[in-house]
Structure 1
Amino acid sequence: MTGRSRYVDGLRLAVGTFTVLPVPGGRVDRATAGVAMALAPAVGALLGLALGGVLLALTPLTSPLIAAGLTLGCAALLTRGLHLDGLADIVDALGSYRPGPAALEIMKKPDVGPFGVVALVVVLLVQAAALAELAGRSAPAGLAAVVVAVATGRLAVTVACRRGVPAARPDGLGALVAGTVGPVAPVVGTVAVAVLASVAVPGRPWQGPLVVVAALAVVLLLLRHLVRRLGGITGDVLGAGVEVTSTLVYLGLVLSG
């Protein structure tokens, strides 16, 4: 497979994995998966651009909080709600205090336990409040903030799939993507998102990049704990990383002092 065809197939896989958009099928192997996971922040930026556009379009028509809630609804539709499901499964598994194999079995169950429900409520409330705050900012800053939050969430996936991080199971999404991303993609993605974040907080060009780096640092600690607890990454781990990182960035971008 040529480099160009691997890139095209990787882009298709990234779009098909991180959005609900239908894309033509292509080759799916670990090399293609590595390209897809490296491109995750770019797909996130495009998704954030669409969601930011929804927020800006709705803000003049209704209250900021309703606009924020509808924007989150669009986010769930555009991503099939997979990341939220991953967050709920991970929190249920961690809340069980059971060892790795038993925790992995809990994550396979289709139901959501009380820990997962609370996690979803808290994350969605924080995101909605942050989006309502961003709706009151200037259009360029508000749009940039949404793009940065969504892109950084997907950058967490790139970081989680870097070489040296194992899969928790021999099958599934985690087994396909674990350890497929080289050292360059996370660095390039972090720099690109941090540069964009410099315009997300009016009058504070330093705050956005600092928030991005801090959120990634927290997720790295979370990832280390999950790998130690579960034995590696799974699709649920990646989904939880997306939601935790995005929420931290949203929160950090609306903090003022």
Structure 2
Amino acid sequence: MNKQPIGIFDSGVGGLCVLKQIRERLPYESITYFADSGNCPYGSKAEDEALDLARKNIEFLLELNCKLIVIACNTVTAVAIDCFRSEYKVPFIGMEPALKPAALQTRSKKIGILATENTLNGRLFKQTFDKYAHGLEVFIQPGHGLVELVETGGQNSEKACNLLKEYLLPMMEKGVDTIVLGCTHYPFLKEMIQTVTKNSVTIVEPADAVAAQTKRILVQYELISMAGNDPQFQFYTTGKKTMAQKILFDTIDSPYGLEFIEI
């Protein structure tokens, strides 16, 4: 049994959708979450800058004795996960757009992908696309401005609605029946996406698959906490504490042993 925490980081609060699924699958694990909201978004930054910011996040989590790190950011996974796996000894879990389940679910064989620019330009996405997109029509759309709206609590705003109409309605006209959310912030827009698309599409996100992989790796490396462990939860943010707290408590009910720290 290993009582050290799982480390999770994202450019902001988007990774809370991953945290939620990890808590459900691994209720006895302590978790340390780092939201780099002060430097958000990562998706439009130069790769070197995104990599440097991610490395600082990793070093911070390692100083807090994390036993495994979940990169709850598609952008960082796309540009740097292979590099980090070679640099550090702890296991890493990354994110990638959920093309495989989307390919299995679509009936029209037409899929839309909403993601950040860096995710769409990354090697990992291209590999996944080449592997699972055969026989499909795939419509790709960068989600400019969506991350910033989620970070400020504007996921249900008129601006969010207008942006989603701009991004998604052209896909709908092409006959898309499945939309892949390729950024951890985007599930916070799920209700608005359903409104814009009139509940006519299947929305696919990878958070549950990431949680399942986290459990598999913990078991494989004999790092899992056993039943009876008293889990603790630390939340660090480089952004505004009040906004992060609101989003956190809207996402997760009664976090155990919560320690909330603005840095």
Higher normalized contact order (CA 8 Å, seq sep 6+, divided by chain length): 2
Same fold (TM over 0.5): no
Higher helix proportion: 1
TM-score by length of 1: 0.29
TM-score by length of 2: 0.28
Higher strand proportion: 2
